[in-house]
Amino acid sequence: MIVDTHTFYWQQPEQVGPAVAQRLVRQSPDPWDRPGSTPEAFDEATSVVDIAIVLALQSPLTGASISFEDVATFVKRRPDRLLGMGCIDPLRDRNAALDDLVAQGLVGVVVSPAMGGYSPTHSRAMRLFERCEEKNLPVMVVSNTALSPTAQLEFAQPFLWDEVARAFPTLRVCLSGMAHPFTDQALALVDKHPHVYADTAEVAGHPWRLYNNLLAAYEAKVIDKLLFASGYPFCQPRDAVSAIYTLHNLCHGTPLPVVPREALRAMVERDALACLGIPAPKNVLPTRAERRPESLNDPVPDPLPEPVAKEED
């Protein structure tokens, strides 16, 4: 099973904030046609994975405004393969927000201290995490600090979550994007706490960063706690899978160390739902491994090919 733990859907780029919209304009001459602008485009882009988790994101500092009501409505159209997580700002949202989120059928909570301007150890945040632990709801930590100059980078540091993990040892936390640019902190936290994970959202769209981060995770012996995520639409799921499977191309013919192929495949195919304590969707379709080969449309052949040696002159 391949689970993409981090995707977004919006009708207009401004819903992720003005700074993100400007970034999309720079990246594409026609940003309104970028993947994610229609449900059909989202379905096509995520067809390479079995299950996609769609995140809400709201931030007064950055102007993000993807409500969990919108996410709940979007994922209900494909309950066999889409799950949603709702965003809660513990400083601004009312106490009933978590109950509303659960009532909408969402399976986890998205928080962004950097985009909300608060420490994860703020008393109101700690009360939220206590309730998440009681309800067995995982917490997805989104920073996206590189996307907006108004985000507060000091609250994006993973070490701030050490106190949270100590206080709530059964709370499942995922540090999205390996908490870039604080990856070393993220890996230390993942290593220390059994229920803290990290995912590859957007990292997979940067080959050299991906190589270094996955190698660091492997050498730290925590690659088994990394979850696959594309960060769609900033990176296509197919491109993310392909980038991980062809990671060795960067160091072929060099003395650079490599991550074993079985570790890379295990990471992509890890059951992230089980790791995060999320029940699988009802009436879920057969996994990619159970479908007929002609329907797989794999981004790379299976089994993984060995790098092609260059011919000598």
Interval 40-66: pLDDT, tens: 989 999 999 999 999 998 888 777 878
For residue 303, pLDDT beyond 60: no
CA angle 125, 130, 135 (to 5 degrees): 125
Q: Which strand ranges, in their side-by-side order, compose the sheet holding 82-87?
A: 3-7, 51-55, 82-87, 109-111, 139-141, 173-175, 196-199, 226-227
Residue 13, both tokens:
């780029």
pLDDT-derived band at 146 (thresholds 50, 70, 90) equals: low
Do 176 and 7 contact (CB within 8 A), yes or no? no
Do 17 and 149 contact (CB within 8 A), yes or no? no
Do 230 and 204 contact (CB within 8 A), yes or no? yes
159: left (phi over 0), alpha (psi -120 to 50) or beta: alpha
> What dotted CATH number matches 3-295?
3.20.20.140
Interval 223-232: pLDDT, tens: 999 999 999 8
Quick one: average pLDDT of 94-113? 94
Residue 229, both tokens:
């995520």
One-letter amino acid at 111 equals: V
Sign for the CA dihedral angle at 14, 276, 235, 141 comes to: positive
Interval 6-40: pLDDT, tens: 999 887 666 776 776 666 666 655 544 454 568 99
Q: Which of 105, 140, 118 is nearest to 7 (CA)?
A: 140
Sign for the CA dihedral angle at 73, 55, 88, 17 comes to: negative
Residue spans per domain, the chain: 3-295
